[in-house]
Amino acid sequence: MKHFLQENWIKMIKMYNKQGSVLRIETTINNPRRFKVSRRVTRQGKQVKLWAVLRKGIADFRRRPEICVAANRRYLQALSFAVLPVTAHRTLDPVSQPCLRKGRRYRALRPISPEDSQKLLLLQDGRFAIEGIRNRDQQADWPDPASNDPGGKRTAGRITRWLRLLTAHGLLSKIPHTQCYRLTLKGQSVITCALRVRNADMKKLVA
């Protein structure tokens, strides 16, 4: 299985041998420019340390395994939630209440409603383990695009509000100095539980 984020991808490989099977996760970076490295650069004649674009040569070679290992870890973490031991109501009840963050009120989530669960499931895509969740990466698959929206601004606004709502509930965390969000452990477990409850409901309906 392979998840693409533009030129970069994360790949899951299952290897078989006589003892059993081994799962290997692999991250491939073809376009390093999408990542950052902390290094000294010259700005207006002065040496300053900042998060600069990752270069293609060997200069930033040390940073590459760090990025790949972090991506692999996030991906494995997401996989591990497929067998959550806790009961669903313990996970879903807290986020099904409105919450307050920085003096602002945020509505309750409805993780098992068709509207919210569809949007939550978008976040489970393995490609977001590579470098996080961006507004623009959500737009193509967004289930509720605004009508008469030539620049896509209204849809982007809807997605922003959705991401902010999830951040307020602790399902996402914003990566500082970027327009990227990352799924938290709480977010992983809420999505997994929501999916499990929804599938159980579907089975009941079919039965």
Partner DNA sequence: AGCGCGTTTACACGCTCCGT
Partner DNA sequence: ACGGAGCGTGTAAACGCGCT
Q: Does residue 113 bind DNA (CB under 7 A)?
A: no
Q: How many residues bind DNA (CB under 7 A)?
A: 32
From the CB of 132, what's the least distance to DNA, in Å? 9
Q: Does residue 39 bind DNA (CB under 7 A)?
A: no
Beta sheet of 172-174, edge-to-edge order: 133-134, 180-183, 172-174
Q: Which helix (H) or strand (E) holds 191?
A: helix 185-206
Closest CA to 181 of 165, 169, 163: 163
CB-nearer residue toward DNA: 6 or 199: 6
Coil, strand or helix at 9: strand
Q: Does residue 30 bind DNA (CB under 7 A)?
A: no
From the CB of 169, what's the least distance to DNA, in Å? 12
Q: Does residue 164 bind DNA (CB under 7 A)?
A: yes
Q: Does residue 146 bind DNA (CB under 7 A)?
A: yes
Q: Which two tokens stand for residue 12?
A: 């899951």
Q: Which residue has the tokens 């070679």?
A: 61
Q: Does residue 177 bind DNA (CB under 7 A)?
A: yes
Pairing of strands 8-17, 20-28: antiparallel
Among 151, 203, 205, 207, contact with DNA (rule: CB under 7 A): 151
From the CB of 150, what's the least distance to DNA, in Å? 10
Distance between CA 206 and CA 149 in Å, rounded? Answer: 38
User: What is the dihedral sign for C-alpha 183, 184, 189, 190?
Assistant: negative
Using CB under 7 A as the criterion, which residues of the chain lie in contact with DNA when the complex forms? Answer: 33, 43-44, 98, 105-108, 134-136, 139, 144, 146-147, 151-154, 156-161, 163-165, 177-180
